[in-house]
Structure 1
Amino acid sequence: MSLHTDAAHSSGQMLPFRESLLATLGICFVIMLVALDQTIVGTALPTIVAELKGFDLYAWVATSYLLTSVITVPIFGRLGDYFGRKPFVIASIIIFVAASALCGIADSMLFLVLARGLQGIGGGMLVGTAFASIADLFPDARVRLRWQVILSASFGIATAVGPSLGGFLTQSLGWRWVFYCNLPVGVISLFFVWRFVPHIRHMKHAGKMRLDWPGAVLITLSLGSLQLLVEMLPKRGFTMGMLGLLAFAVAAFYSLWKWEQRAAQPILPFEMMRDRALSSLFILSVLAGFSMFSMLMYAPLLFQGGFGMAPREAGLLITPLVACITVASIVNGRIITRIPNPNMMMTLGFALVSLSCLGIVLSGRGTSNGFMLATMLAGGFGLGLVLPNLTVFAQQAASREHLGIATALLQSLRMIGGMLGTAITGTLVSQMYGSGVQKALESDHAAQWLKEFQDPEVLVNHDIQSTLLSQMMQAGHNGSALLDAARDALVGAIHMGIAIAILTALAGLMLVRRVPPIKFQSNAKVEPVMSE
């Protein structure tokens, strides 16, 4: 059955309030499913590796998920534009939950890595379709911003409780429940989406369209090779193999660009890049992802490994960074439609992120917790002003037929920016920390201990430290002084990586000026087809 809901358009939403609330809750559960998984698994990984005996595949538990999700986000974002998003959201929940069950029953690291890859396909489908579903439900940007407060809150709650919940489940029930906990959330989200989210299609003849399979293959090759490059480069350096992979990635991206210009219905419409607002927002998404993931990934290592904080103390400092993203998103949604220049909110956001990164670089072992807490608060509040506005601005600037792919591209580009940020900082940590430790050990004629110091985990794990210090003392070395030298090397390396994040945030601050002023006016009435 097909119907048009013209009356609903006048109020800026497709459905009455009750139906809108239930549909939004369904999308919230879907977003919580992905957000929870992003933060809960990391806590359990050391225990998983200890049981399954596969440390050489440690990084691939995260890499396999990222690899498949980065590829599927733009593909299914575009397919959602063609055929409507509800079928893909339902399919993605089923795939994600089934893959979570497979992760839970894994009996080897290889099995877990493969299951995580399948889970990434479901996660990419979710991200590529769920975020754009809100724009379908609420065509008017003013109305959409009010409802997105619920989404921001659900994402923030899931992200904040993930690490603690992962630790609790691992200690109390075993690491497998880190994956099994996705099952009840998935069943609830599946019920709400199936029952309450309407099937909205913006292209009435989408069923007759031919899928751009060559474009999908080229997206897979280009994004996949880029993902592998940024993951493997910090470990292997600029070898011939890495240079070959770089050349392949460049060739794949060039082939994708040339093909999509000729395709009748391109899965990645490059004409969007000609739009000044969208092209600027896409670049801003990369820059925001670079700064955000640099802080999220390496601030905890700085606090624990570099400054010698206990995990709980470091966690208390990191929590405001995550929590303030949600708080600022809520505040942003309340005021952005009431100010004459909404672009100023993103300008303020990038300024706060720059100051936060600068605060991290200026922090040392003697810096007060109050200063570092303020630094984390500034970073979280800044990201909370940048991230939701990137999505809302892009949805406001994009045409209806490009809504899904524009939203999906923002998510993919933010992940790519995050990959670049963590890869560059990871390379600096590997090189600078390694050379600094080697120099300190050689000056104390203790080069035989280099293997024990090579992994910064020795600066975090107090059990390993105690054993190492005892052994070095028996050998006549000042182990405490060498640990302090190793901490100094780690701090310098992370500071250098975060300094690059300062430059990316400042580049974002300058680039915001290129975004044409966004006006949140009531959208012209549109008539998508709703199918039940």
Structure 2
Amino acid sequence: MHVFFMTLIERKSFMSKSNIRLVTVALLLANVMSGIDSTIVNTALPAIIADLHGLQLMAWIVAVFLLGTAVSTLLWSKLGQRRSYKFAYQLAALTFVIGSLLQGLSPNIWLLIITRGIAGIDNGGMISLPYIMFVDLYPNVRDRMKTLALVSGFYSFATIIGPLVGGFLVDALSWHWIFYINVPIGLLSILLVQIYYKVPRSAPVAAPLDVRGSVALVVLLISLLGAIEMIGMVKLPVILGLVVVAVLAMVLLLRTEKHAKDPVIPLRVFRNFPLVMDFLLFTLVWGAFVAFLTYAPMWAQGLLGTTALVGGATQIPAAFTNVAGSESVPMMRRHYTPHQVLTFNIVLLTISFVLMAVLNVHAPFWLLLVAGAFEGWGNGACFNELQVKVQVDAEEQDVSVATSFSFLIRMLSQTFTVAIFGLLMNQQLAKGVASHPGITMGMMNKLSDSNSAASLPKKLLPAMREILHSGLHNIMLLALALMLISLVLNLYAGRKEASLKTRAQ
């Protein structure tokens, strides 16, 4: 019997409650590392570029990490299935620690980008495998939901302190230490898992490794995400070429997975109606969420003239309400169905984007905080409910791949919607600049920074803010549309799933 599908009696014979708590702490430490890493680097980028040079390559420091994470997620899941999730997690965490050390030691921008990509690959396993391991640690759905609320809390806390820690380390020591800080945290996590995660040896998988499918998946993701990341950076034929490669890789992947004995992505998961609806809802909700995460600080700085610190404070209410929303799900599930819980919280998310869509250029800062509070609660609750629902809706043999795929879906949604939002913004900026001869794109770039904005002509600031507002307004309208579509889809899925259960009975 595979370790992942142990019965409750078997599990208790291997792990005590105290062991489970300590392993949970270890896995939460991985979440903290990932949360800090996702925000701390942005703070240190100016210092890194000043030291290593390569301003034109700055975007790749962030992009290559996300690319590595997305590409590797399902492969780490497959490794866990074939060996053990304990082994896969420890390997991912150890190589992430090594990657962090190498990033800190990088003598030039190229080596930093390469080691950043390696760390991204390891990050794919380090943050996705714990969600699979939580299924084994917490077979009771409500207990697992409570643990996922902790995950949200730790991640939110890490993203808040990340910029602060990054700023302190860069000022007090050097940018190298933003990477070194991961080393002791990662080693402690690995040690706790090694000592306290007691699981029986799993039987070896007899089926051959799906090498062809794995390669096709990697090529598909690299070409697809590369095309998205390069929009606006390279000429159109390059983008189209990458899209063609992605399509060909997808065709090869589909053909391969039909006949593979141990496919990297079993196609049967896409014939599971409730599971497909979960994936689609994750895609829509996460795409809308990214709009607020990315552009609320710009709203505060560019339209209201706040500092970067105050602009970043737009995320603080969301960080706290995200935890509260996630904590509310186990209690709501005592009285309501999963889709009823989702409907309530999708409505809260929708309210957030209704507020953002109707705010004018002179709207007060506190309304951004209110919108953030609604966004945080709705997103935290939807994430908790959908993550557990994915694991409940999947067939027992597909729980791990469905869990990893739900993470990949969020990564793809985030990457794609950020690119679309960027295109919307650029289109409105170009249109606004063209209709105001005295305003240039260079001047618009300075508007979102309080220091550089002070050098702009005061008489042009109202017009420039109107131009920026038009771009932000369109982005929030698109996010609102995504939320309305998700609301309709959730209502449809709830009725359809209820109908399927009635027929089965």
Output the TM-score relative to the length of structure 1.
0.88
Query: Which residue in the other structure is 2:9 paired with?
Result: 8
| Superposition deviation, residue 101 in structure 1 | 1.1
In 2, Cα distance between equivalents of 1:379 and 1:113: 33
Q: Does 1:370 align with 2:366?
A: yes
Structure 1 window deviating more from structure 2 (364-373 vs 380-389): it is 364-373
| Superposition deviation, residue 198 in structure 1 | 3.0
| Aligned residue among 466, 480, 493 for 2:458 | 480
Q: Please tell me the residue identity of whatever aligns with 2:122.
A: G
Query: Which residue in the other structure is 2:227 paired with?
Result: 229
Residue 209 of structure 2 aligns to a residue whose secondary structure is coil
Query: Which residue in the other structure is 2:442 paired with?
Result: 452
Query: Which residue in the other structure is 1:86 paired with?
Result: 86
5+ residue gaps, structure 1, are: 470-478, 519-532
Query: Which residue in the other structure is 1:475 paired with?
Result: none
The within-5 A match list for 1:118-133 is 118-133=118-133
Residue 288 of structure 1 aligns to a residue whose secondary structure is helix
In 2, Cα distance between equivalents of 1:487 and 1:9: 63
Note if contact 2:304-2:365 (Cα within 8 Å) is conserved in structure 1: no
Could you report, residue by residue, the CA deviation over 1:212-249 in whole angstroms, capped at 9, with x for unpaired residues? 01111111111111111111114347x12212222222
| Superposition deviation, residue 517 in structure 1 | 5.6
Note if contact 2:224-2:243 (Cα within 8 Å) is conserved in structure 1: yes
Query: Which residue in the other structure is 1:528 paired with?
Result: none
| Superposition deviation, residue 7 in structure 1 | 6.0
Q: Does 1:492 align with 2:474?
A: no
In 1, Cα distance between equivalents of 2:429 and 2:373: 28
In 1, Cα distance between equivalents of 2:109 and 2:239: 25
Note if contact 2:285-2:483 (Cα within 8 Å) is conserved in structure 1: yes
| Superposition deviation, residue 33 in structure 1 | 1.4
In 2, Cα distance between equivalents of 1:15 and 1:340: 32
| Aligned residue among 386, 393, 396 for 1:390 | 386
In 1, Cα distance between equivalents of 2:246 and 2:490: 29
| Superposition deviation, residue 58 in structure 1 | 1.1
The within-5 A match list for 1:268-279 is 268-279=265-276
| Change beyond 3 A, Cα 1:148–1:105 | same
Note if contact 1:96-1:123 (Cα within 8 Å) is conserved in structure 2: yes
Could you report, residue by residue, the CA deviation over 1:411-453 in whole angstroms, capped at 9, with x for unpaired residues? 110111111111001112222213312432x2x3x7xxx3632
| Change beyond 3 A, Cα 1:336–1:81 | farther
| Aligned residue among 459, 484, 489 for 1:511 | 489
Structure 1 window deviating more from structure 2 (348-357 vs 404-413): it is 348-357
Query: Which residue in the other structure is 1:21 paired with?
Result: 21
In 2, Cα distance between equivalents of 1:5 and 1:89: 18
| Superposition deviation, residue 285 in structure 1 | 1.4
| Change beyond 3 A, Cα 1:463–1:156 | closer
In 1, Cα distance between equivalents of 2:8 and 2:240: 58
**Structure 1 segments of 4+ aligned residues over 6 angstroms from their partners:** 2-5
| Aligned residue among 429, 441, 448 for 1:433 | 429
In 2, Cα distance between equivalents of 1:10 and 1:118: 34
Q: Please tell me the residue identity of whatever aligns with 2:277.
A: S
Note if contact 1:81-1:405 (Cα within 8 Å) is conserved in structure 2: no
| Change beyond 3 A, Cα 1:340–1:10 | farther
In 2, Cα distance between equivalents of 1:200 and 1:391: 26
Note if contact 1:221-1:249 (Cα within 8 Å) is conserved in structure 2: yes
| Change beyond 3 A, Cα 1:431–1:157 | same
Note if contact 2:433-2:441 (Cα within 8 Å) is conserved in structure 1: no
Note if contact 1:287-1:504 (Cα within 8 Å) is conserved in structure 2: yes
5+ residue gaps, structure 2, are: 500-505
Q: Does 1:161 align with 2:180?
A: no
Note if contact 1:421-1:501 (Cα within 8 Å) is conserved in structure 2: no
Note if contact 1:433-1:486 (Cα within 8 Å) is conserved in structure 2: no
| Change beyond 3 A, Cα 1:75–1:336 | farther
Q: Please tell me the residue identity of whatever aligns with 2:228.
A: V
The within-5 A match list for 1:186-265 is 186-199=186-199, 204-236=202-234, 239-265=236-262
Output the TM-score relative to the length of structure 2.
0.92
Q: Please tell me the residue identity of whatever aligns with 2:223.
A: S
Q: Please tell me the residue identity of whatever aligns with 2:374.
A: A
In 2, Cα distance between equivalents of 1:200 and 1:80: 14
Note if contact 1:73-1:408 (Cα within 8 Å) is conserved in structure 2: yes
Aligned-pair Cα RMSD in Å: 2.4
| Superposition deviation, residue 391 in structure 1 | 0.9
| Change beyond 3 A, Cα 1:401–1:82 | farther
| Superposition deviation, residue 465 in structure 1 | 3.5
| Change beyond 3 A, Cα 1:6–1:65 | closer
In 2, Cα distance between equivalents of 1:289 and 1:30: 21
| Superposition deviation, residue 331 in structure 1 | 2.1
Relative contact order, higher structure (CA 8 A, sep 6+): 1
In 2, Cα distance between equivalents of 1:365 and 1:178: 37
The within-5 A match list for 1:220-369 is 220-236=218-234, 239-333=236-330, 335-369=331-365
Query: Which residue in the other structure is 1:472 paired with?
Result: none
In 2, Cα distance between equivalents of 1:46 and 1:429: 24
In 2, Cα distance between equivalents of 1:260 and 1:484: 57
Structure 1 window deviating more from structure 2 (145-154 vs 387-396): it is 145-154
In 2, Cα distance between equivalents of 1:200 and 1:422: 43
In 2, Cα distance between equivalents of 1:439 and 1:395: 52
| Superposition deviation, residue 252 in structure 1 | 1.6
Query: Which residue in the other structure is 1:416 paired with?
Result: 412
Note if contact 1:433-1:489 (Cα within 8 Å) is conserved in structure 2: yes
In 2, Cα distance between equivalents of 1:485 and 1:51: 37
| Change beyond 3 A, Cα 1:283–1:242 | same
Note if contact 2:152-2:380 (Cα within 8 Å) is conserved in structure 1: no
Structure 1 window deviating more from structure 2 (416-425 vs 348-357): it is 348-357
Query: Which residue in the other structure is 2:503 paired with?
Result: none
| Change beyond 3 A, Cα 1:322–1:153 | closer
Could you report, residue by residue, the CA deviation over 1:348-370 in whole angstroms, capped at 9, with x for unpaired residues? 22222222122112223321233
Q: Does 1:44 align with 2:39?
A: no
Structure 1 window deviating more from structure 2 (380-389 vs 141-150): it is 141-150
| Change beyond 3 A, Cα 1:32–1:14 | farther
| Change beyond 3 A, Cα 1:302–1:122 | same
In 2, Cα distance between equivalents of 1:207 and 1:330: 38
Could you report, residue by residue, the CA deviation over 1:82-141 in whole angstroms, capped at 9, with x for unpaired residues? 322111100111111111111112222222111110000110111231211100112221
Query: Which residue in the other structure is 1:400 paired with?
Result: 396
In 2, Cα distance between equivalents of 1:324 and 1:234: 35
| Change beyond 3 A, Cα 1:183–1:76 | same
Residue 208 of structure 1 aligns to a residue whose secondary structure is coil
Query: Which residue in the other structure is 2:502 paired with?
Result: none
